[in-house]
């Protein structure tokens, strides 16, 4: 399998490109709209045709490139069926493997950051979205988030994967790229190191994080599979900058 990890610095998002060498088809996990030209460039450089975009969840910090990719190259939009988005072409469910040529993804419903959040296992890797970050996790105070539910998702679904399974998160804010299940069990200060459910709930309740600055625009836009809001304030224009450029030709 062809594999690339791509980083979008504005939202510190990792997008993953998975390519099948036999069929020359590809999947992009969590593509970001402002990085669409880069992603299309990578696909073309590798001689791959994008068959699907696949989001782990409805993002609050960036606009997904799913819809724009569909318009540009005809890729289908895959995403958690539980979110019931009318724009999704292929609804993903746990227990139903998602296959493209030699690429086989095993979807795991991992709610807690959002209620519809999914992680995807591919052989020795797991794409954990925001459910499990390197020595961290996504916040649980919006989008039907729930710390107790996230604790259960991570401990029962992700921490039951093999210890040497590589953890590829949807974000990192400290220039880290990859971890492993064993490393997160041992070092994650919120969910690992033997933390109890009560300790985790206390940690998440005490984070005192600011209100997410893009959430009110990103969530409605992502519920339409990646529509940039028309009324975006100037100070947030960079979240849709590349698309605006391309629309202007």
Q: Which residues bind Fe ion (CB under 5 A)?
A: 130, 138
- Let me know if 212 is exposed, middle or buried by CB neighbors in 10 A (0-12, 13-18, 19+): middle
Judged by beta carbon, residue 157 or residue 171, the one nearer Fe ion is 171
CB of 130 to Fe ion, least distance (A): 4
The span from the CA of 246 to the CA of 249, in Å, is: 5
To Fe ion, the closest distance from the beta carbon of 237 in angstroms equals 21
Contact present, 91 and 126 (Cβ < 8 Å): no
Quote the tokens at residue 134: 């390197």
Query: Phi and psi of 27, rounded to 5°?
Result: -125, 140
Q: Which residue is nearest to Fe ion (CB)?
A: 130
In whole angstroms, how close is the CB of 41 to Fe ion at the nearest point? 25
Taking the least distance from each CB to Fe ion, the nearer of 25 and 143 is 143
In whole angstroms, give the CA distance from residue 165 to residue 105.
14
Of residues 138 and 169, the one with the C-beta less far from Fe ion: 138
CB of 67 to Fe ion, least distance (A): 18
Q: Which residues contact 199 (CB under 8 A, 6 or more apart)?
A: none
d(C-alpha 228, C-alpha 239), whole Å: 8
Nearest distance, CB of residue 56 and Fe ion, angstroms: 8
Which CB atom, from 111 or from 138, has the smaller least distance to Fe ion? 138
Residue 203 belongs to what H/E stretch? Answer: helix 197-205
Comparison of 59 and 157: residue with beta carbon closer to Fe ion: 59
């Amino acid at each position: 399998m062809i594999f690339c990890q791509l980083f979008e610095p504005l939202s510190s998002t990792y997008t993953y490109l998975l390519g099948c060498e036999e069929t020359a088809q590809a999947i992009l996990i969590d593509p970001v709209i402002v990085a669409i030209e880069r992603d299309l460039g990578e696909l073309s450089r590798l001689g791959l045709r994008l068959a699907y975009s696949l989001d782990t969840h409805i993002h609050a910090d960036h606009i997904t490139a799913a819809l724009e990719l569909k318009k540009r190259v005809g890729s289908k939009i895959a995403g958690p069926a539980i979110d019931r988005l009318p724009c999704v072409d292929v609804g993903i469910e746990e227990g139903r493997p998602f296959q493209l040529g030699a690429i086989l993804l095993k979807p795991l419903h991992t709610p807690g950051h959002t209620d519809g959040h999914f992680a995807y296992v591919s052989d020795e890797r797991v794409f954990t979205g925001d459910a499990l970050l390197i020595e961290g996790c996504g916040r649980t105070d919006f989008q039907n988030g729930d710390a107790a539910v996230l604790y259960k998702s991570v401990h029962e679904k992700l921490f039951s994967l093999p210890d040497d399974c590589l953890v590829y998160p949807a974000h990192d804010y400290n220039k880290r790229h990859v971890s492993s299940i064993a490393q997160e069990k041992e070092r994650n200060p919120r969910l690992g190191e033997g933390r109890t459910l009560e300790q985790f709930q206390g940690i998440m309740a005490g984070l005192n994080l600011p209100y997410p600055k893009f959430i009110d625009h990103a969530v409605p836009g992502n519920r339409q599979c990646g529509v940039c809001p028309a009324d975006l304030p100037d100070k947030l224009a960079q979240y849709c900058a590349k698309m605006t450029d391309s629309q202007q030709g």
